[in-house]
């Protein structure tokens, strides 16, 4: 169920929505002229904000443009109504994230290939701003297979309101990009045609559109911060190394929440990519076509979407977008040298792995089960044994980053060794790369800030004895969404705990705004917060530690032996 995207709409706003549906411009309707034409949005008097929803930044990638690189949006005549969120991009049915996939979150009912749109939320009264405002661009997650800027949990209203309350107003932008087979297809024929990594190219075009047009909305094209979670964070990381770190002035800061450039998706070699591509061709009866791309352009959407559902996301290296593996580009210093925030959640791996176990019906109960999982990801049996022992030691003698609320053993559905494996998943996919990125930024002399999110959701929302502080748990906090707009259930604890949890909501959202405005999270304006968030350094590696009791710091030296294994092996999937 998708709750209203614009919270607390007044009766006046409801009337305006009705007028917009009739292509009528009401007296208080904000109208902006961009390069392509004029846009009429919605004025929300309750929040003193203007919304411009469903603005095209590209020509619809449909028909003969399906699977091609994105093309800039065409001009239009008259005033375009930007009054409703765009459809979800057609994607591939992905594995459902335990605890955070709500009914309707696949967006299938309204999904479309005509989906390359963005949304803008700004403080009202910016027709002639005295000085342009910083811009925060949100890139959604969803495993590169699902998700949308239309997800109500990504509503920018509360962040914009928070920025106004702080006296440092900003403009919030959220974007769609192609997903699954439609955005990340790879194979010899696709690669020869230069049609790789198109979902990332969509994002790049959206950032270029923002550079050209955001000033018309009162935004500053010279102060753009890109932000994402999970696959969205991976997308942010991809833009940082895109074209070998060619900055192009598209963004000036970045926030990566539980994700980096690969984040669990492999950069396969050409042989493996071709094998997966052939499975798509076989499922769509395009294997014998003279022009397989043209054939795929004519396949019904639902067939193409499900042609290879578990392996549909294929990133391609050695093209112009990724001239090398992201890890190689980072090691060579070929990345956008912009300030960053990177962080992970204590139990990022718990619901990720639980989702896989549920989908594949493959619980881990023994070391043999664990070894089979690791071998499938490129490890040797001896390394699997070493990691099995290390994570067993973590459970027996936990560090500050241990299981915490998660019980050390679980039932048969997830497997008795689920806690051990969930720690490995969280480290291998998220925490290791987060640590490496912070170290690389420090060595390059570029500011970076690292965090460890440790605020458990409400027990009525998710069983923390099973999942702890899982993937996606920080979202309502960074969006300042203590009212849980867009959520089926409120993930933030209520009752006697409500006030202290809402203080964390206030602090985190303020720190995200502060970073977008100042390039540092410490200009948050809360006099009762006495802990500064230090820049990360290899000599004193420190995480900001967000706990229900408030902010503290944590030395980032836990599970070093396991992290060294990930650093020294070559599986091509880590970062």
Instruction: Say which CATH number the domain at 503 has.
Output: 3.40.50.1820
Of 303, 338, 373, the domain-final residue: 338
Q: Nearest Cα to 249, choosing from 170, 331, 338, 175?
A: 338
Kindly tell me if the per-residue pLDDT of 58 is higher than 80. yes
Indicate if 23 and 57 belong to the same structural domain: yes
| Per-residue DSSP letter, 431 | I
Q: How many independent structural domains does the chain possess? A: 2
Indicate if 366 and 219 belong to the same structural domain: no
Tell me, what's the pLDDT at 1? 33
Residue 160 or residue 247, greater confidence: 160
Structure tokens at 294: 């043209």
Band (pLDDT 50/70/90 cuts) for residue 104 is low
Indicate if 321 and 447 belong to the same structural domain: no
Asked if 378 contacts 573 with a C-beta cutoff of 8 angstroms, the reply is: yes
Of 300, 315, 338, the domain-final residue: 338
Tell me, what's the pLDDT at 129? 59
Residue 491 in any domain: the answer is yes
Asked if 379 contacts 373 with a C-beta cutoff of 8 angstroms, the reply is: no
Indicate if 366 and 292 belong to the same structural domain: no
432-466 tens-digit pLDDT: 999 999 999 999 999 999 999 999 999 999 999 99
Region class of 13: left (phi > 0), else alpha (psi between -120 and 50), else beta: alpha
Band (pLDDT 50/70/90 cuts) for residue 10 is very low
Tell me, what's the pLDDT at 440? 96
351-387 tens-digit pLDDT: 999 988 887 788 999 999 999 999 888 889 999 999 9
Q: CA 415 to CA 429: how far, in whole Å?
A: 20
Of 318, 338, 358, the domain-final residue: 338
Indicate if 450 and 310 belong to the same structural domain: no
Structure tokens at 503: 């203080």
Tell me, what's the pLDDT at 217? 97
Give exposure, 530-554, as e/b (b: 16+ Cβ within 10 Å): eeebebbeeeebbbbbbbeeebeeb
* Prediction pTM value: 0.94
Indicate if 443 and 316 belong to the same structural domain: no
Band (pLDDT 50/70/90 cuts) for residue 539 is very high
Asked if 111 contacts 204 with a C-beta cutoff of 8 angstroms, the reply is: no
Q: Is the dihedral of CA 228, 233, 234, 238 positive or negative?
A: positive
Domain containing residue 329: 11-338
Least confident residue range of 95-104, 247-256, 327-336, 479-488: 95-104
Indicate if 314 and 366 belong to the same structural domain: no
Tell me, what's the pLDDT at 22? 33
User: What percent of the chain has pLDDT above 90?
Assistant: 77
Tell me, what's the pLDDT at 236? 98
385-401 tens-digit pLDDT: 999 999 999 999 999 99
What is the rounded average pLDDT for all residues in the chain? 90
Residue with tokens 């092996």: 569
Residue 3 in any domain: the answer is no
Residue 144 in any domain: the answer is yes
Q: Nearest Cα to 113, choosing from 174, 176, 71, 206?
A: 176
Residue 1 in any domain: the answer is no
Kindly tell me if the per-residue pLDDT of 514 is higher than 50. yes
127-147 tens-digit pLDDT: 555 799 999 999 999 989 899
Phi and psi angles of residue 236, each rounded to the nearest 5 degrees, phi first: -60, -45
Q: Nearest Cα to 251, choosing from 267, 270, 273, 235?
A: 235
- Catalytic site positions: 230
Indicate if 100 and 26 belong to the same structural domain: yes
Indicate if 294 and 436 belong to the same structural domain: no
Q: CA 508 to CA 254: how far, in whole Å?
A: 16
Indicate if 406 and 495 belong to the same structural domain: yes
Kindly tell me if the per-residue pLDDT of 196 is higher than 50. yes
Tell me, what's the pLDDT at 125? 82
235-270 tens-digit pLDDT: 999 999 999 998 789 999 999 999 988 555 567 778
Other CB atoms closer than 10 Å to residue 133's CB: what's the count?
Answer: 24
Indicate if 203 and 141 belong to the same structural domain: yes
Residue 5 in any domain: the answer is no
Indicate if 363 and 251 belong to the same structural domain: no
Kindly tell me if the per-residue pLDDT of 501 is higher than 50. yes
Query: Residue 559: CA atoms inside 13 Å, Cβ hemisphere, count?
Result: 30
């Amino acid at each position: 169920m998708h709750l209203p995207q614009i919270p607390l709409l007044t009766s006046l706003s409801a009337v305006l929505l009705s007028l917009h549906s009739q292509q009528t411009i009401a007296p208080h309707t904000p109208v902006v002229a961009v390069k392509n034409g004029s846009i009429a949005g919605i004025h929300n008097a309750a929040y003193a904000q203007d919304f411009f929803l469903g603005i095209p930044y590209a020509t619809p990638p449909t028909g003969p443009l399906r699977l091609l690189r994105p093309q800039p949006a065409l001009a239009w005549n008259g005033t375009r109504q930007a009054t409703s969120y765009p459809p979800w991009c057609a994607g591939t049915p992905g594995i459902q994230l335990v605890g955070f996939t709500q009914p309707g979150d696949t967006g299938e009912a309204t999904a479309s290939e005509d989906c390359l749109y963005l949304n803008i939320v700004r403080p009202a009264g910016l027709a002639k701003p005295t000085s342009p405002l910083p811009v925060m661009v949100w890139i959604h997650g969803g495993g590169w297979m699902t998700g949308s800027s239309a997800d109500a949990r990504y509503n920018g209203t509360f962040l914009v309101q928070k920025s106004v309350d702080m006296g440092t107003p900003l403009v919030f932008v959220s974007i769609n990009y192609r997903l699954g087979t439609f955005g990340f297809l790879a194979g010899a024929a696709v690669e020869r045609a230069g049609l790789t990594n198109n979902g990332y190219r969509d994002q790049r075009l959206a950032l270029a559109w923002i550079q050209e047009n955001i000033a018309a909305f009162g935004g500053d094209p010279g102060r753009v911060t890109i932000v994402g979670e999970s696959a969205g964070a991976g997308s942010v990381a991809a833009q940082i190394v895109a074209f070998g770190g060619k900055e192009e002035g598209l963004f000036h800061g970045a926030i990566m929440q539980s994700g980096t450039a690969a984040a669990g998706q492999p950069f396969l070699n050409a042989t493996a990519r071709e094998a997966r591509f052939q499975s798509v061709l076989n499922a769509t009866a395009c294997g014998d076509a003279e022009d397989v791309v043209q054939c795929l352009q004519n396949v019904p959407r639902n067939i193409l979407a499900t042609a290879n559902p578990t392996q549909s996301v294929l990133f391609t290296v050695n093209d112009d977008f990724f001239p090398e593996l992201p890890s190689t580009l980072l090691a060579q210093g070929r990345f956008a040298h912009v300030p960053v925030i990177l962080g992970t959640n204590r139990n990022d791996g718990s619901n990720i792995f639980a989702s896989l176990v549920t989908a594949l019906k493959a619980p881990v109960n023994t070391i043999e089960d664990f070894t089979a999982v690791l071998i499938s990801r490129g490890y040797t049996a001896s390394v699997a044994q070493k990691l099995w022992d290390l994570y067993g030691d973590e459970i027996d003698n936990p560090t500050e980053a241990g299981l915490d609320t998660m019980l050390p053993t679980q039932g048969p559905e997830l497997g008795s060794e689920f806690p051990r494996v969930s720690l490995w998943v969280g480290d291998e996919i998220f925490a290791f790369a987060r640590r490496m990125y912070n170290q690389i930024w420090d060595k390059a002399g570029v500011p970076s800030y690292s965090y460890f999110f440790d605020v458990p959701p409400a027990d009525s929302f998710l069983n923390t004895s099973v999942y702890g502080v899982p993937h996606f748990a920080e979202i309502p906090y960074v969006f300042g969404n203590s009212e849980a707009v867009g959520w089926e259930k409120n993930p933030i604890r209520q009752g006697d705990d409500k006030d202290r949890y809402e203080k964390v909501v206030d602090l985190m959202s303020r720190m995200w705004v502060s970073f977008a405005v100042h390039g540092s999270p410490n200009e948050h304006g809360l006099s009762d917060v006495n802990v500064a968030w230090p820049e990360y350094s290899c000599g004193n590696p420190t995480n900001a530690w967000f706990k229900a009791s408030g902010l503290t710091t944590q030395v980032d030296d836990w599970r070093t032996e396991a992290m060294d294994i990930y650093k020294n092996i070559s599986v091509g999937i880590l970062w």
